[in-house]
Amino acid sequence: MPSRKPNVILIFSDNHPADMMGCSGNAEVQTPHLDRLAAGAVRFSNAFCPNAMCSPCRASVLTGLMPSQHGIHTWLDDDVVAEWPDEWNAIGEFDALPERLARLGYDTALIGKYHLGIADAPQNGFREWVTLQIGHVLSFYDNDMIDNGERYRYSGHSVDFFTEKALDYLARRGREPEKPFFLFLTYPAPYGHWPSIQGEPTNRHADTYKGMAMHSVPREGISKNLIDWMFVRHDKMPKDDPGFYRDVARIPNDLPTLRNYYSQMSMVDEGVGQVLGALEREGLSDDTLVIYTSDHGMSLGQHGFWGHGEDTWPSNTHREAHHIPLIVKPPVSEARANVEPSLVGTTDIFATILDYAGADLPPPAESRSRSLRALLAGEPTEWEDAVFMEQEETRAIRTSKWLLMRRFAPTGYDFHDELYDLETDPDERNNLIDEPACAAVVAELSDRIDSFFSRYANPKWDLWHGGTAKSNSTRPFLWKEAWGKDWAPDY
């Protein structure tokens, strides 16, 4: 018997760029299950995250808010857990998605990585609570888990662990089909950093990538902006581990690492396939909204850096680090297959799920989150041709035609804005910011950025106007120099 409201499965991978799937044109990575999902669903080819770091995007999908609204501007550093308040929940003051759904009668489950505060006990309205004890991914094996209050170490691959727990959860939900559920399945892979992906892969997909040339990963010289960031970190934060950025500079040309990274993507793909198979077995597939996405993208060497938008100086919002996969399969009554080019974002997932659940949507004055339901149905709708992003000292707008990156000012650093014509320069190589012919475009896009953040930023968390960040910043020295030596993260 179908549930009165649709079930929802939101699958989040970790550090997965949109172009690393077969269905998006990558001939080397093997993702048959995601490809099959996309073939019967809507794949958004221009989906972007608001920030290219883990914790901010997890907060944004659960609240529908931008980093300058919820206060998390970068990953929440496990090394400073001792400074966090007891049982700290980084988005505890907000009415999060699972809390809203629980009030509508949904059973709610987090199975996977949390990375939004103290993980000892359920947070944010989740009833089922299976997660990692820390947010970092140091290895895919031998991880300490929290399984509904029980703590133990799981020796196998973490993707397998969370898949097994998801399958068990779906089997239990299949025995109560009248009660809708929300499953937030958050795989801690493919991840993409040492030590977790260092060396040739050893998982069961290793043979698929043995000897692969990895032509889908570009070979470029190291970006000056990455080197600048290494020097700035050395000078301004000498206690931080200098080895991390030496490693980041080496990864794009290390073939064993690249093969390992792709093999972890195949592990995620296999897990997705098992979850979709379980939906079919339990008779839940026709009445379930399935969404696959990632917390953020990942530069795999494009523009001369590996990793996140904050891994250069100044930070950047180039496509690769912010471009996310987004595949949405509505309940069967509304399902259609299509590639949708409209510009959409992580925050839109929040409103979309609420829309399908029959909940009130956040008013535009409070959240930019927009329901994707009309786009999914192929119905005419007014849709603003823009997404907005922020990476501490960089704020950006992307339209189908332009990408403008604006930098915080004034500072003592040699920051420059950047403008790219995405129609003539889709790889974002030719900075037109100083072209006189583009002055009007720069002014118009700058006004849109200012208007957006004036409308949505919370003064407490607005770094550009004296605000602070929750827990930590990757540029604390910059904000101390701008706002005084007493500037510090808050909670």
Decide if 279 is inside a domain: yes
Q: What is the pLDDT averaged over residues 317-334? A: 94
**How far apart (Å, rounded) are the C-alpha atoms in residues 113 and 192?**
15
Strand bridging mode 47-48 / 42-44:
unpaired
pLDDT the model gives residue 31: 98
DSSP for 295-319, please give it: S---EESGGG-EE-TTSSSS----H
Residue 489 lies in a domain: no
Tokens representing 433 are 């910011």
pLDDT band at 3 (very low <50, low <70, confident <90, very high): very low
Give a yes or no: residue 18 inside a domain: yes
In a domain, residue 480? The reply is no
Angstrom distance (rounded) from CA 198 to CA 446: 41
Confidence grade of residue 333 (pLDDT, cut at 50, 70, 90): confident
Q: Give me the helix-helix angle, 54-63 and 346-357, nearest 10°.
A: 30
Amino acid 491: pLDDT: 92
C-alpha–C-alpha distance, residues 2 and 157, integer Å:
34
Alpha-carbon span 475 to 485, nearest angstrom: 13
Assess if residue 389 is contained within a domain.
no
Question: For the domain that residue 345 is a member of, what is the CATH number?
Answer: 3.40.720.10
Cα dihedral across residues 387, 388, 390, 394: positive or negative: positive
- Mean pLDDT of all residues belonging to the chain: 95
The predicted pLDDT at position 219 comes to 86
Q: Would 479 be classed as within a structural domain?
A: no
Q: What is the mean pLDDT of residues 282-299?
A: 96
Least confident of 209-213, 229-233, 455-459: 229-233
- The pLDDT tens digits of the residues spanning 407-430 come to 999 999 999 999 999 999 999 999
pLDDT for res 483? 98
> Backbone phi, then psi, for 90, in 5-degree steps?
-65, -20
* Model confidence band, residue 253 (pLDDT cutoffs 50, 70, 90): confident
Measured in degrees and rounded to the nearest 5, phi and psi for residue 281 equal -60, -40
Answer whether residue 244 is part of any domain: yes
> Which residues fall within 8 angstroms of residue 68, CB to CB, at 6 or more apart?
390, 453, 456, 457, 458, 461, 462, 463, 467
Tokens representing 44 are 């958004």
Q: What is the tens place of the pLDDT at every residue in 23-38?
A: 999 999 999 999 999 9
Q: What is the pLDDT of residue 251?
A: 86
What is the distance between the alpha carbons of residues 180 and 288, in angstroms, rounded to a whole number?
9
Nearest to 403 by CA among 373, 381, 425: 425
Range of the domain at 68: 7-384
With 60 as the cut, is the pLDDT of residue 271 above it?
A: yes
Name the nearest CA neighbour of 40 among 449, 397, 389, 335.
335
| Structure confidence at residue 489 (pLDDT) | 97
Per-residue pLDDT at 387:
98
Whether 436 maps to a domain, the answer reads no
Band (239; pLDDT cuts 50, 70, 90):
confident
pLDDT value, residue 2: 44
pLDDT band at 282 (very low <50, low <70, confident <90, very high): very high
Mean pLDDT of 134-152: 95
The pLDDT value recorded for residue 229 is 93
pLDDT attached to residue 1? 36
For residue 268, is pLDDT > 90?
A: yes
More confident residue, 333 or 337: 337
Residue 450 phi, psi (nearest 5):
-60, -45
The mean pLDDT value for 381-404 works out to 97
Please count the structural domains in the chain: 1
What confidence score (pLDDT) does residue 161 get? 98
User: pLDDT tens digit string along 150-189?
Assistant: 999 999 999 999 999 999 999 999 999 999 999 999 999 9
Which residues lie closer than 8 Å to 160 by C-beta, 6 or more apart? 267, 271
